[in-house]
Chains A and B, each alone.
Chain A
Amino acid sequence: MIIAEFGLRNAEWEMKTENGIVVDMDIQKIPLEQIDLLDETFSVNYFPDLQKLRSSIQETGLIQPVLLRKKPGGYQIICGFRRISVTKALGRLEVESRVFEGKEMDEFRLFSLSLHENLTTRGFNAVEKAVALDKLIHRFQIHRAVVINTFLPFFSLEPNEKILSTFLSLAQMEDEIKTYVLKEEVSRGNIRRLSALSPDDRMALLSLISPLKLGENRLRELLTLLEETSRRSHSTVKEIAAQAEFQAVLSQKELTPSQKTERIKKVLTDLRYPKLSQLEKAFEKKRKDLDLPFNISLHHPPFFEGKGLKIEFQFETIEEYQIILSALSVLPEKEAFKQMIQKD
C-alpha cells in the first residue's frame, strides 16, 4: 500500500521487487573504490550500531546486495551505506550490488525505494526518521500534506503537522544533541522543548545535563524550569547554565549522577521560584534558631498556603520521649517560634 502511495507501483517495480526488496536485477561485484562514499543523497543513516552487522558480514558475508546507481565516474549509493562501510572496514575490495542505470528512475523514486528497503530490513531510529522527513520536504520538495499523510504513517508516526514539525526540528539540531536524543531516548515532547532553544542554548544545556542521569520526567522538569527561568529573567539558557552554582554541583566528584540531578533541580527551582525560595530560607533559618533535637521535625504548610505548622517526632526510649517533650514545652518562649506562629 505504501509503495502505491509513494507512486512506485508500476510494472518496473513489480518486476524488480519482492516485499519491497529489489530482487530481479543482476548482482554484480563493484569495486569499492568506484563508489562515492561521500554522496549522501539517499542516506538517512545516523549513529548506526555497526557491531552486529560487522559480525554478521564477517561470518556469512553480505546476505542482501546493496543498491547503487551509475553516475559519471562511478557509483552512488541508494541503499546499503552501512553495509558498504562495514565491508570497507573489513578490508574487502568489492561489494555485491544491484545497479540502476543513471536515468532509469528519478531521485525521489530511488529515495522512496531506499526508505522502503531500509524499513523492511532494519527500521529507523528517531534521528533517521527526522533526516528522511527533512529530505522529503527540502530536497525532494514533496508537499507537506503528502509527507504528513503518507510518510508519517510509513514511519509509524501519527499523521499530523505537530509531529512533522517536531521531526523536522530534530533534523536541524546539532549532532551532539541528536546523539543525546538517541542515547537517552528523548521523547517527542522533550524534543519539541529542545527545538525551542537556540543552538547555543542547546549546547549549553547539553553540558549541564549530560553528566546527569535523567529520566523522561526529570528532563522535562529541568527543561521547563530552564525555559521559564530564562523567560522570566530575560536571560539566555546559556547564561543561566553558566552560573557558578551549577558548575559547583557538577564538579563534586563524590556525588552520584542522581544526587547531582536533584541538586541541579534545586538550584533551578530556586531561580525559577525566587519568592518561594526566600520564604523557605527564612523558615529554615528560624527553624535552626529553635535548636530542636534531631528527632523533631517542623514543617510549614505546602507552599506556605494555609495556616499552621506541623511537628513530627520519633523516639525509641522513654528518655528520648522526655527530651522531646521538654524541647517542645519551651518552644512557646522562643522568639523564632512566636514569629513562625504569628507570621502575618
Chain B
Amino acid sequence: MFPIQIEKIYLDEKAEKDSVSKTILKALPNIPVETVEDKRTLIKQFSSMSDPIGTGKRYLLITHFYGKRLKPCPGTSNHICCGYYVINAVTNCPMDCSYCVLQGYLNNPFLTVYTNWDDLLEEINYFLSRDKSSLLRLGTGELSDSLALEPIFPISQFLIDFFSKRQRAILELKTKSPNIDSLLDLDHQGKTVISWSLNPPKMIGEEEKRTAPLTTRIEAARRCQEKGYPLGFHFDPILYHEGWEKEYRETILQLFKQIDSRRVVWISLGGFRYPPHLKAIAEERFPRTEVFLGELFPGRDGKFRYLKEVRVDIYRKMARWLKEVNPGLFIYLCMESKEVWEKVFGWAPESSRHLNRLFEERVRGFVG
C-alpha cells in the first residue's frame, strides 16, 4: 500500500542505470518520468514554492547520495541518549504528520530515494568493522518512515538480509505503515527489530495524516511477530490532551491483546517536543492541529517540551500501565534528562554510554 499518488518521477541521470531505479520505475508504471542532469537546480526551484515539503511528497526523486549516510542519532544536548545510529537511504516521507520535524528540517523537499546501495553497504560494513566490542543498533527511520516506501523501494528487504549475517549489529525499522508483506518470508535471524510508533486512534486521525490506523499497525506487528521478528514500540510523540490517560491506556491494552509482550524488545516513551522553528511551519500547513496548544516551553537544548511535571506524570502512568502488562518490559525515555528518569523510574542511567550498555544486555538476552 502506497499512501500517496506520485505525480512525477525525476530520475537523476547518475542513477539511471541502477537496478534499483529500474525496480522503482516498474513499481510505478504510468507515471511521467523526467531525467534530470542537475538536481540542485530542480531542488532550488521546488524549494521556492509555497509548501515545498507538502508538494515534494508527490514528486519522487531517484538519485545518488554522496557523503555520509550513517551517523550517530543527533539526540539532544543535556539529555540522555540511547546511542543509536541512523542510516539515511530515503529523505522525506509520503505520510504527513502535523508534528513531523522533517517539515522544518529538509533542504531537499522531494521524496528522495538513493539508489547507490553498494556505497551504502560499504559504509555500513566499514562502520561495523571499526567497533568490534559493542553491539550496535542502527535504524532507518530518521529522515523518513522506514517502511512507507517499501512497496516501491525495497531497501528494508535488502538491509534485513545484510544484517541477518552480522553478529554485532541490530537493525531497527521504525514505521507507521502496514507495509510488511515483503518482509515476512525473509531469513532475518532475529537481527531486525520492526517497531511501530503508536498513538491512540483519535490522535492518529487528527494528527497523523495518511498513516495506517492503529488496528492496522497492530495487525502488521502481530504478523511480524508470528514470523519471529523481535518487535519494538514507540509511544512517541505522546500528545498530552484532555482524555489522554484513557486513550493511551486503551491503546496499550489493545496492543497487548494481539502482541506477546515477551517478544517485545523495547518500548520508548517520548513526550511531544519540537524545535522552535517548527511551530510556524506546521501551523501554516495544518491550521487545525492542536499539538501546539499544550503547555510547551523551551528547555536547555532549545526544544520545546511539556512542563517537567507533566512529562513525569505522563511517563509514570505509561510505565505503570505497561508494567501491569508485563513487569519485564524494557522501557526507556527518549531525549530526557537524568532528573526525569529518576523521577519516573527511581533510577537513571549514569550516562548515555550506560544506557547503551543496558540496551546491549537487553538485545543479547533477547536475540542471543
- Residue positions of A touching B, CB distance < 8 A: 160-162, 228, 231-232, 273-276, 279, 302-307, 344
| Contact indicator A305/B300 (Cβ below 8 Å) | yes
**Chain A contacts for B299, CB-based, 8 A:** 303, 305
Residue of A161, A162, A231, A275 touching B307 (CB-CB under 8 A): A275
| Contact indicator B293/A232 (Cβ below 8 Å) | yes
Q: How far does the Cβ of B302 sit from chain A's closest Cβ, in whole Å?
A: 12
Residue of B50, B290, B308 touching A304 (CB-CB under 8 A): B308
| Contact indicator B295/A231 (Cβ below 8 Å) | no
Q: Mark B332-348, 1 if CB is under 8 A from A, else 0.
A: 00000101000100000
Whether A305 touches B50, Cβ cut-off 8 Å, given contacts A231-B290, A279-B309, is no
**Chain A contacts for B339, CB-based, 8 A:** 306-307
Q: How far does the Cβ of B344 sit from chain A's closest Cβ, in whole Å?
A: 11
**Chain A contacts for B297, CB-based, 8 A:** 276, 302-303, 305
Say yes or no: is B310 at the interface (Cβ < 8 Å to chain A). yes
**Chain B contacts for A279, CB-based, 8 A:** 307, 309
Q: CA of A228 to CA of B293 in the docked complex: distance in angstroms?
A: 6
Say yes or no: is B298 at the interface (Cβ < 8 Å to chain A). yes
| Contact indicator A231/B50 (Cβ below 8 Å) | no
Main secondary structure of the interface of A (DSSP, over half): helix
Q: How far does the Cβ of A280 sit from chain B's closest Cβ, in whole Å?
A: 11
**Chain A contacts for B293, CB-based, 8 A:** 228, 231-232
| Contact indicator B50/A162 (Cβ below 8 Å) | yes
29 of the cross-chain contacts (CB-CB < 8 Å) are A160-B50, A162-B50, A231-B290, A231-B293, A232-B293, A273-B295, A274-B295, A275-B295, A275-B307, A275-B310, A276-B295, A279-B307, A302-B297, A302-B298, A303-B307, A304-B307, A304-B308, A304-B309, A305-B297, A305-B299, A305-B300, A305-B307, A305-B308, A306-B300, A306-B308, A306-B337, A306-B339, A307-B339, A344-B343
**Chain B contacts for A161, CB-based, 8 A:** 50
User: Looking at chain B, what size class is its interface with the partner chain?
Assistant: 10 to 19
B residues 210-256 touching A (CB-CB < 8 Å): none
Given A232-B293, A302-B298, A306-B308, list of 11 further CB < 8 A pairs? A160-B50, A275-B309, A276-B297, A276-B307, A279-B307, A303-B297, A305-B300, A305-B305, A306-B339, A307-B339, A344-B343
- Residue positions of B touching A, CB distance < 8 A: 50, 290, 292-293, 295, 297-300, 305, 307-310, 337, 339, 343
Q: How far does the Cβ of B145 sit from chain A's closest Cβ, in whole Å?
A: 29
**Chain B contacts for A274, CB-based, 8 A:** 295
Q: CA of A173 to CA of B343 in the docked complex: distance in angstroms?
A: 51
The chain B residue with its CB closest to the CB of A307 is: B339
Q: CA of A293 to CA of B309 in the docked complex: distance in angstroms?
A: 30
Q: How far does the Cβ of B183 sit from chain A's closest Cβ, in whole Å?
A: 41
Q: How far does the Cβ of A90 sit from chain B's closest Cβ, in whole Å?
A: 49
Q: CA of A276 to CA of B304 in the docked complex: distance in angstroms?
A: 14
**Chain A contacts for B50, CB-based, 8 A:** 160-162
**Chain B contacts for A276, CB-based, 8 A:** 295, 297, 307
Q: CA of A216 to CA of B164 in the docked complex: distance in angstroms?
A: 59
The chain A residue with its CB closest to the CB of B298 is: A303
**Chain A contacts for B300, CB-based, 8 A:** 305-306
Q: CA of A273 to CA of B296 in the docked complex: distance in angstroms?
A: 9
Q: How far does the Cβ of B53 sit from chain A's closest Cβ, in whole Å?
A: 16
Residue in B50, B309, B343 whose Cβ sees the most chain A Cβ within 10 Å: B309
Q: How far does the Cβ of A190 sit from chain B's closest Cβ, in whole Å?
A: 14
Q: How far does the Cβ of A63 sit from chain B's closest Cβ, in whole Å?
A: 43
**Chain A contacts for B307, CB-based, 8 A:** 275-276, 279, 303-305
**Chain B contacts for A302, CB-based, 8 A:** 297-298
Q: How far does the Cβ of A5 sit from chain B's closest Cβ, in whole Å?
A: 22
Q: CA of A274 to CA of B295 in the docked complex: distance in angstroms?
A: 8
Residue in B305, B307, B310, B339 whose Cβ sees the most chain A Cβ within 10 Å: B307
**Chain A contacts for B310, CB-based, 8 A:** 275
**Chain B contacts for A344, CB-based, 8 A:** 343
**Chain A contacts for B337, CB-based, 8 A:** 306
Which 6 A-B pairs have CB atoms at the shortest separation, nearest pair first? A303-B297, A273-B295, A305-B299, A275-B295, A232-B293, A305-B308
**Chain A contacts for B295, CB-based, 8 A:** 273-276
Q: CA of A274 to CA of B290 in the docked complex: distance in angstroms?
A: 17
**Chain A contacts for B343, CB-based, 8 A:** 344
**Chain A contacts for B309, CB-based, 8 A:** 275, 279, 304
Q: CA of A305 to CA of B306 in the docked complex: distance in angstroms?
A: 10
Q: CA of A276 to CA of B337 in the docked complex: distance in angstroms?
A: 19
**Chain B contacts for A303, CB-based, 8 A:** 297-299, 307
**Chain A contacts for B305, CB-based, 8 A:** 305
**Chain B contacts for A306, CB-based, 8 A:** 300, 308, 337, 339
Q: How far does the Cβ of B206 sit from chain A's closest Cβ, in whole Å?
A: 13
**Chain A contacts for B292, CB-based, 8 A:** 228
**Chain B contacts for A231, CB-based, 8 A:** 290, 293
Residue in A228, A232, A274, A303 whose Cβ sees the most chain B Cβ within 10 Å: A303
**Chain A contacts for B308, CB-based, 8 A:** 304-306
Q: How far does the Cβ of B285 sit from chain A's closest Cβ, in whole Å?
A: 12
Q: CA of A307 to CA of B298 in the docked complex: distance in angstroms?
A: 15
Q: How far does the Cβ of B339 sit from chain A's closest Cβ, in whole Å?
A: 6
Q: CA of A59 to CA of B215 in the docked complex: distance in angstroms?
A: 81
Q: CA of A58 to CA of B298 in the docked complex: distance in angstroms?
A: 60
Q: CA of A273 to CA of B293 in the docked complex: distance in angstroms?
A: 9
Q: How far does the Cβ of B190 sit from chain A's closest Cβ, in whole Å?
A: 40
The chain A residue with its CB closest to the CB of B242 is: A232
Q: CA of A275 to CA of B310 in the docked complex: distance in angstroms?
A: 9
Q: CA of A276 to CA of B307 in the docked complex: distance in angstroms?
A: 8
Q: CA of A305 to CA of B309 in the docked complex: distance in angstroms?
A: 9
Q: CA of A305 to CA of B298 in the docked complex: distance in angstroms?
A: 9
The chain A residue with its CB closest to the CB of B307 is: A275
Q: CA of A307 to CA of B312 in the docked complex: distance in angstroms?
A: 14
**Chain A contacts for B298, CB-based, 8 A:** 302-303
Q: CA of A136 to CA of B348 in the docked complex: distance in angstroms?
A: 65
**Chain B contacts for A162, CB-based, 8 A:** 50
